[in-house]
Amino acid sequence: VRKNARTSLEKVLAKLHPADIALIIKNLSDLDRKKIWESISDKSKIASIILELEDSQIIEFFDAMQPNEIALILNEMESDDAANILRLLDQDKVNEILKYMKKDEVEAVEELLHYPEDSAGAVMNPNFFALHEDTTIKEATKVLHKAEDVEMVFYLYVVDDEGRLVGVISLRQLILNPPEKKLKEIMTKDVIRVTVDMDREDVAKIVEKYDLLAIPVVDEQNRLVGIITVDDIIDIIREEATEDIYKMAGTTDDEVLMGNKSIKIARVRLPWLLITFVGELISGFVITFFQGRVHEFAILASFMPLIMAMGGNVGSQSATILIRGMALGKIDSKDLSKVIFKEIRVGMIMGLIMGILLALVAPIWHGDPKLGIVVGCAMFAAVTFSTFTGTFVPATLIRFNFDPAVASSPFISTLNDITGLTIYFTVSIVLLSIL
Amino acid sequence: VRKNARTSLEKVLAKLHPADIALIIKNLSDLDRKKIWESISDKSKIASIILELEDSQIIEFFDAMQPNEIALILNEMESDDAANILRLLDQDKVNEILKYMKKDEVEAVEELLHYPEDSAGAVMNPNFFALHEDTTIKEATKVLHKAEDVEMVFYLYVVDDEGRLVGVISLRQLILNPPEKKLKEIMTKDVIRVTVDMDREDVAKIVEKYDLLAIPVVDEQNRLVGIITVDDIIDIIREEATEDIYKMAGTTDDEVLMGNKSIKIARVRLPWLLITFVGELISGFVITFFQGRVHEFAILASFMPLIMAMGGNVGSQSATILIRGMALGKIDSKDLSKVIFKEIRVGMIMGLIMGILLALVAPIWHGDPKLGIVVGCAMFAAVTFSTFTGTFVPATLIRFNFDPAVASSPFISTLNDITGLTIYFTVSIVLLSIL
């Protein structure tokens, strides 16, 4: 971006979609980025570009700005978008910004901030299009003419005198019916709706199940208070999947907000590593415990990584199948014992195959067929047990209403290392004394 | 479901949404399920329920049916839905079914089956709503009246004499403009579109980026051949995330099609376990190699699980961050080296903390402060290196156009076990000889 190219830059930017400008900005140096921002004077354009940025970039952008400048930009946004951005910032800064925002915006934003972060209330758009049931189609069409700033209208929600949601009409129905008819005569009365306090993941599942483009949000008195559109649903689905993936790997999506800050990222990941640390010290005790007790320890030690890794992987596979199945709604809480038994069956089959394989390989390496049978049986036992750990731990968390994704791979692997080594050495010692 | 309750059952089912019936069916015994199916005589109702079932349930349902019966049901579906179901069945059975289907349906379905499974062509609906650019709004509204069986209309696509896509009009624009105007006068000419051969994941990203409700699909000559609606995009996003989650855990989404068949499930998971088997045998060789060479082997052995688990977890965290970041489009291929260096920095911080912790704990257990320093330093080296493995391996796969999700946790952990143990023993031996 050269300096004398400023005016032509402005022209180019005016033609581009905000999503494309956001993409360009992402790939520029700090200096060029600053020039781009300076060349856009239209605050609503800036607002629409910011909405396309990653959360970590939004935080970075606003970190460098004064509360009054931020307020000017947030004033240009839908109140739900503004609220979502304010959730990313420090509480002190938020209070400062709110002082400079338009009064009606502040009220709408504060109400949204009041809902818990993952509830329908927090993601809904309170700026919806609703008409009274006695409105005629002709009048409705007129109102539609004026309502230019309302987000993506494809359903018209119909309310009664008290603002309660009583029906819905698609734009298509509006076109296809005579103009003198009243909305209540043509509306669909059986409206699928959600309440403000519903978890956003459950809202997404409903929209997905019924293939909706938007879903109305009502309060306890069944009054229409907002809508959630399908583009927000897509964001929710992506974010929830990402959250689960990160949790399963032993980190959280907070990490993504940290951008390039290594120390902060390390802090997010450390809790899981500390659990691993303690767990694997116990594994170490197990090893030390058996060290003096088995004559063949040196040989058995050479298969320890195999036993631990196999148990860890198989356990993680089982846990992943269960946790993802729950998240997708393919498994529900009364299927849990069925899934546990299925996984144990699968574990026995895989344990059998891996056990036979080890029984064949071990004698080639160490030259003792008896040893092959011993470690093969131990492998079978360890792998089978790991499918139990991998499903029983998340299933128990679910039963007590904890998030099963917390039973992440690091946790399951660590647990399986302890049980796997114990099973391995115990089975080996017993068999060595029998055979 | 009692036998004499048949008629009231029919009445209840007629009122329910297909998605809800599918949910009920899922939770019934085989016998009750059969009764439900028998009580629904309307083929189009059966078709709409089947579309709400899980893939594994669809396979099970059609497995028990004759090709001619299946054809009657598929005739009632949109051709894209029918094609998607046929993709789940054996090729021989598909050929049989096609013999019994309606001629025009067969043509449409065969054309769709011809596109590669994950392409825009395979997921698009070829039954779209398009009008010629010279059509007036009045005429368009008339045509809209008749087009009842077209899936979710919210955009009208406008084509020229050759069927090339030249514009788009929203239903709202149709309402808000005078009826005598021609479509080409009010249409938006700059239509965001995709080509038939584009990967469905990229299509989803475009729809998400521009918050669209549907996207038109064109062939090489820019002729409109289909549309993809936002409900399909949601399915794609869910499926792709699920696919990635399963791959990272060392299995694939084929597993989901297997339902309860343990042997088939075991077969899907075995490839990763075999890689682990070979890799961990190598880890075993590393242990055996150092067994005779270090006097303090017995003590060092007690920390092996810790070193392996820490390297495995940290490596998986790094790999997950990189792979998910790529899938979300937050990281692109020119960011790769930046991400690798960031992860190494994070790894050094975590390695330092874990190393210090181990240096403090080890002497308490084994009573030798020198040993603490030795294993602490080895821990630091192993953890840091594992972030390199965890990012470098998927980054290399990406560079050579492989799917990075293949660099799954089992693979990364196994690799880190080998390198981690080697680093651990080497660093320990060197330090023990110096200190």
Confidence of residue A372 (pLDDT cuts 50, 70, 90): very high
Distance (Å) from the alpha carbon of B96 to chain A's nearest alpha carbon: 31
Question: What is the DSSP annotation of B275-304?
Answer: HHHHHHHHHHHHHHHHHTT-TTHHHHHTTH
CB contact under 8 A, A175 and B176: no
Q: Which residue of B has its CA nearest to A287?
A: B302
pLDDT tens, B358-371? 999 999 988 888 99
Residues of B in contact with A324 (CB under 8 A): 242, 245-246
Q: Which helix (H) or strand (E) holds B65?
A: none
d(CA A306, CA A312): 10
Residues of A within 8 A of B230 (CB-CB) are: 213, 230, 234
* Residue at B239 is within a domain: no
Q: Do A238 and B237 touch (CB under 8 A)?
A: yes
Residues B350 and B386 in one domain: yes
Pairwise CB contact (< 8 Å): A303 & B314 = no
pLDDT number for residue A426? 94
Are B91 and B137 members of one domain?
no
Of B172, B211, B245, the CB nearest to A320: B245
Which among A154, A255, A308 has the least Cβ separation from residue B308? A308
Residue B149: pLDDT band by 50, 70, 90 thresholds?
low
**What per-residue confidence (pLDDT) applies to A295?**
84
Average model confidence (pLDDT) across chain B: 88
Burial degree of B44 (CB within 10 A; 0-12, 13-18, 19+): exposed
Q: What is the pLDDT of residue A2?
A: 52
Residue A246, both tokens: 């990160």
How far, in Å, CA of A211 to CA of A230, rounded?
9
Residue B233's pLDDT is: 93
Report, as an integer, the average pLDDT of B48-67: 86
Q: Examine the domain organization and report whether A430 and A281 are in the same domain.
A: yes
Domain boundary among A90, A114, A138: A114
Closest alpha carbon to A225 in A118, A133, A124: A124
Output the DSSP codes for A358-422. Answer: HHHHHHHHHS-HHHHHHHHHHHHHHHHHHHHHHHHHHHHHHHTT--GGGS-HHHHHHHHHHHHHH
Please return the burial class of A141, using the count of CB atoms within 10 Å of its CB with bins 0-12, 13-18 and 19+: middle
Q: Is the pLDDT of residue B26 over 80?
A: no
Task: Dump pLDDT digits (tens) for B79-94.
Answer: 888 998 999 898 899 9
Residue of A nearest to B171 (CA): A171
B273 in the same domain as B229: no
- Compute the distance between CA of residue A344 and CA of residue B423 in angstroms, rounded to an integer: 36
Residue A24 lies in a domain: yes
Dist CA A222 CA B429 (whole Å): 72
Cβ-contact A285, A390 below 8 angstroms: no
- Among A186, A214, A229, identify where a domain stops: A229
> Residue A153's pLDDT is what?
63
Show which of B89, B114, B139 is a domain's final residue.
B114
Give the pLDDT confidence score for residue A383 in this predicted structure: 95
Identify the band that residue B10 occupies on the pLDDT scale cut at 50, 70 and 90: confident
pLDDT (0 to 100) of residue A288: 92
Locate tokens 């036992």: which residue? A381
Across the interface, of B174, B249, B306, the residue whose CB is closest to A320 is: B249
A308 CB neighbours in chain B (<8 A) are 280, 305, 308-309
pLDDT of the residue at A148: 62
Confirm whether B227 is domain-assigned. Answer: yes
Q: Do A273 and B330 touch (CB under 8 A)?
A: no
Question: Number of folded domains in chain A?
Answer: 3
ipTM score for this prediction? 0.83
Angle value at C-alpha A372, between A370 and A375, nearest 5 degrees? 110
Per residue in A166-191, pLDDT (tens digit) is 999 887 788 778 889 999 999 999 89
Q: Is residue B241 part of a domain?
A: no
State whether A175 and A151 are in the same domain. Answer: yes
CB pair distance less than 8 Å for B269 and A350: yes
CA dist B62 and A274 (Å) reads 50
Residue range(s) defining the domain that contains residue B302: 254-434
- Note the pLDDT of residue A203: 95
Report yes or no on A321 lying in a domain. Answer: yes
pLDDT at A314: 93
Q: What is the CATH number of the domain that holds B94?
A: 1.25.60.10
Instruction: Kindly state whether residue A236 falls inside one of the protein's structural domains.
Output: no
Per CB-CB distance under 8 Å, the chain A contacts of B17 are 210
CATH number of the domain that residue B227 is part of: 3.10.580.10
Closest A-chain CA to B247: A317
Domain identity same for A108 and A176: no
Q: Which of A374-383, B51-60, B179-188, B227-236 is the least confident region?
A: B51-60
Per-residue pLDDT, B244:
87
Q: Verify that A60 and A203 share a domain, yes or no.
A: no
Q: Nearest chain A Cα to B328, which residue? A: A238
Task: Give the C-alpha separation, B402 to B406, whole Å.
Answer: 8
Q: Over 60: is that where the pLDDT of B298 sits? A: yes
Whether residue B103 lies inside any domain: the answer is yes
pLDDT at residue A37, rounded to an integer: 81
Token pair for B74 = 């598929």
Instruction: Compute the mean pLDDT over every residue in chain A, rounded to the nearest whole number.
Output: 88
When scoring B409, B414, B416, B419 by the number of chain A Cβ atoms within 10 A, the one with the most, hence best to mutate, is: B409
Residue A382: per-residue pLDDT: 95
Question: Which of A358-362, A399-403, B82-86 is predicted least confidently?
Answer: A399-403
Asked whether residue B224 falls in the same domain as residue B281, the answer is no
Per residue in A99-149, pLDDT (tens digit) is: 999 988 898 899 889 998 889 999 898 888 889 999 999 898 888 777 765
Residue A390 identity (one-letter amino acid): G
The runs of H, that is alpha helices, within A126-229 are 137-146, 171-176, 183-186, 200-209
Instruction: Say yes or no: A301 and A409 in one domain.
Output: yes
pLDDT tens per residue, range A68-83: 889 999 999 888 889 9
Task: Determine the average pLDDT of the residues in A19-43.
Answer: 81
Identify the residue whose tokens are 């659990």. Answer: A275
Pick B324's closest partner by Cβ from A242, A284, A346.
A242
| Chain B residues touching residue A260 (CB < 8 angstroms) | 342
Asked if B353 lies within 8 A of A280 by C-beta distance, the reply is no
Shortest Cα–Cα distance, A381 to chain B (Å):
16
DSSP conformation letters of A22-48: HHHHHTS-HHHHHHHHHH---HHHHHH
User: Residue A5: what pLDDT?
Assistant: 57
Whether residues A192 and A326 share a domain: the answer is no
My answer on whether B134 and B108 are in the same domain is no
How many Å apart are CA A286 and CA A282, to the nearest integer? 6
Question: For residue A218, what is the DSSP state?
Answer: E
Supply the CATH number for residue B328's domain: 1.10.357.20
Q: What is the pLDDT of residues A293-337, one digit of tens each?
A: 888 888 899 999 999 999 999 999 999 999 888 888 888 888 888
pLDDT tier, B425 (very low <50, low <70, confident <90, very high otherwise): very high
B170 has a pLDDT exceeding 90: no
pLDDT of residue B390 exceeding 70, the answer is yes
Whether A248 is in a domain gets the answer no
Residues of A in contact with B349 (CB under 8 A): 262-263, 266
Asked if residue A347 and residue A393 are part of one domain, the reply reads yes
Which pLDDT value is given to residue A24? Answer: 83
The answer to whether B279 contacts A309, with C-beta atoms less than 8 Å apart, is yes
